[in-house]
Amino acid sequence: MSGRWAVVVGGGVAAARRAEILLRAGAHVTVFASELSGDLALLREKFAFEHVARRPAKPAELEGVALCIVATGDAAADERARDLAKAAGALVNVADRADLCDFMLPSIIDRDPLMVAISTGGASPLLGRMLKARLETTIPAAYGRLADFVRSSRAMVNAKLATGVARRRFWEGVLDGPAAERMLAGDVSGANSALEDELGRASAQGEAAMRGEVYLVGAGPGDPDLLTFRALRLMQKADVVLFDNLVDPAIVDLARREAERIYVGKRMGDHALAQEEISDLLVRLALQGKRVLRLKGGDPFVFGRGGEEIEMLASRRIPFQVCPGVTAAIGCAAYAGIPLTHRDHAQSVVFVTAHGKNGPLDLDWSALARPGQTAAVYMGLSRIEQLMDEFVKHGADPDTPAAIIDNGTRPNQRVIAGAVRTLAELARADDLRGPTIVIVGSVVTLRDKLDWYKSAGSSLASGQTTTALEQ
Ligand code: SAH
């Protein structure tokens, strides 16, 4: 709006607040109002604007106006003013009349040149203002100064650091380090010398020293709320994200917006990239100096082949971090209401995969089928019949309770409970697609005890609906 003409129709508080936004943006403002309220009179002490002591009467008066704000406090007068402004070709905003607006005025947190705008699309301006109040207290007033400081040093930094990656790393260090601290404390010369030190260091190290890094991050079984704080922090630092189909799209969306996203697939039979290719890709990207986020479903070290990936990284001397995640057995059990251990039912719990290195169902069955133990079987759906048969062959009672949880912790979670004898048939009848986890053991019966909870209409965990439980 800088240098452009804006009109405010109305002389009250609402008009004053809007006029101030326009004046701060550098617009030429004309206020049409028979009288100026105290707020507008105060505003006149700070800014110059034109005052016309009546309402506009014909479109010609508003010819050339870019924006028109209407806030007379009188519905009929508001509509008349709006029609005139529209006829003159201006964009119009009418206070508290979303239906008459060409544009919305967001709540603004102003740390010039830093600006945060909050809009609820007209749904609840009050909610927007509440959020604004909260953010006002968490964004230091000096942030604007910090932004100016970055702007004024940019040319110097660009001259010393050639690549985009090097510059971004540098600024991350500055904004998170002593230079920013000094600036926020109002010590401009201290901030400048801290920045110069940092720049000297960064350009001396050169590009070669700027090695990339790999973050092997467990994304949990599906519900984004199950991410850890550390996972979220690493996701915000990534330059590239490698993810497969076990990771919910809602979670991939939480990675840094500018990060490149690479789908590396992996569903049985549809291997977008073989494991060796994924490991190679991780190495190649890290050697380009990138921060590579390898997002894995559940926990990276539980049936996630994370071990193989870090062996490769270690052999190539690439730095990496591993961030644990909620593994499917733990997440699914909680969201399905099945405690994995219980003093009266199970004193141990084993996590097994139905797909070993030597083919499917290569398991120590007698150790699995023990009483007093819960077994959580990953990747068991495709051979569910055989799986259940093996339990029985190795001494498990065919009536041992068992459940299958499909898409656990997600909005479409389904739980099918039965017994070792019946589970395969139940699963087939329901045409489950997976991912699914199978839980075998008497702890499955404890689910029924949660019935009172269901009938009370409550949910066991956030994100899980009663319907999902009942299914
Ligand atoms: N690293 C992952 C497991 C990868 S193996 C973890 O710690 O959870 C893939 C298997 O995990 C799937 O075949 C399925 O058995 C299980 N799984 C993953 N997400 C699941 C989910 N949301 N619901 C049910 N099972 C899931």
The answer, yes or no, to whether residue 88 has pLDDT greater than 90, is yes
Query: Among candidates 325, 386, 308, 400, which has minimal Cα distance to 354?
Result: 386
pLDDT tens readout for residues 165-191: 889 889 988 998 889 999 988 899 999
pLDDT for the residue 258:
85
Which residue shows structure tokens 């139940």?
Answer: 426
The DSSP-derived string for 444-464 is GGGGGGGHHHHHTT--SSTT-
The pLDDT, as a whole number, for residue 79 is 96
What domains are there in the chain, each with its CATH number?
5-105 (3.40.50.720), 142-210 (1.10.8), 213-326 (3.40.1010.10), 329-467 (3.30.950.10)
Alpha-carbon distance 259 to 386, whole Å? 43
3-state secondary structure of 218: strand
pLDDT at 471: 34
| pLDDT at residue 454, rounded to an integer | 56
DSSP sequence for 307-369: HHHHHHHHHTT--EEEE----HHHHHHHHHT--S-BTTTBSEEEEEESEETTEET---HHHHS
**Mean of per-residue pLDDT scores for the chain:** 89
Q: What's the mean pLDDT in 340-358? A: 89
The pLDDT value recorded for residue 459 is 46
- Model pLDDT, residue 302: 95
Cα atoms in the 13 Å half-sphere on the side-chain side of 24: 14
| Helix count and strand count (H, E) for the chain | 18, 19
356-361 CB contacts, 8 Å cutoff, 24+ apart: 360/386, 361/386, 361/387, 361/390
Q: Is the pLDDT of residue 267 over 60?
A: no
Any idea which of 205-209, 232-236, 280-284, 410-414 has the lowest mean pLDDT? 205-209
For ligand 1, whether the C-beta of 246 sits within 6 Å is yes
Q: Compute CA distances 13 → 128, 250, 253, 278, 442, whole Å.
A: 19, 42, 41, 61, 68
Cβ neighbours for 53, distance < 8 A, ≥ 6 positions apart = 33, 34, 35
In Å, the largest CA–CA distance within the chain is: 95
Closest atom, ligand 1, to C-alpha of 409: 22
Nearest-angstrom CA–CA distance, 394 and 388: 10
Helix (H, G, I), strand (E, B) or coil at 203: helix
Alpha-carbon span 398 to 392, nearest angstrom: 6
Give the Cα separation of 99 and 82 in Å (integer): 12
- Tell me what the mean pLDDT of segment 389-394 comes to: 92
pLDDT at 470 over 60: no
Asked if the model's pLDDT at residue 360 lies above 80, the reply is no
Using DSSP's 3-state secondary structure scheme, residue 193 falls into helix
How far is the C-alpha of 380 from the C-alpha of 38, rounded, in Å? 73
Angle at which helices 164-175 and 188-205 cross, to 10°: 140
For residue 242, the surrounding DSSP H or E stretch is: strand 240-243
Q: How far apart are CA 77 and CA 55, in angstroms?
A: 9
The SS3 of residue 83 is helix
Whole-number pLDDT of residue 20:
94
Range 106-115 contact pairs with CB under 8 angstroms and sequence separation of 24 or more:
107/131, 107/132, 108/21, 108/132, 109/135, 109/136, 109/139, 110/24, 111/139, 111/141, 111/143, 111/144, 111/147, 112/24, 112/144, 113/144, 113/147, 113/148, 113/151, 114/139, 114/143, 114/144, 114/146, 114/147
Measured in angstroms, how far is the CA atom of residue 351 from the centroid of ligand 1?
Answer: 11
How many angstroms is it from 451 CA to the middle of ligand 1? 26
Q: Just list the catalytic residues.
A: 244, 266
Residue 98 or 456, more confident: 98
* Structure confidence by residue, pLDDT tens digits, 194-214: 999 999 988 887 665 567 899
DSSP letters, 114-141, are EEEEE--TTS-HHHHHHHHHHHHHHS-T
Q: Is 459 left (phi over 0), alpha (psi -120 to 50) or beta?
A: beta
- Hey, is 89 helix, strand or coil? coil
pLDDT of residue 308: 86
Tell me, using a 6 A CB cutoff, whether residue 413 lines ligand 1.
Answer: no
Residue 300: its H or E element: none
What kind and span of H or E run contains 173? helix 164-175
Rounded to the nearest angstrom, the distance between the alpha carbon of 393 and the centre of ligand 1 is 26
Q: In a mutational test of the pocket of ligand 1, which residue from 351, 378, 404, 409 has the highest number of ligand atoms less than 8 Å from its CB?
A: 378
DSSP 8-class letter at 183: H
For the Cβ of 468 lying below 6 angstroms from any atom of ligand 1, the answer is no
Q: Ligand 1 test: best mutation among 303, 405, 406, most atoms within 8 Å of CB?
A: 303
Name the token pair of 305.
Answer: 């082949």
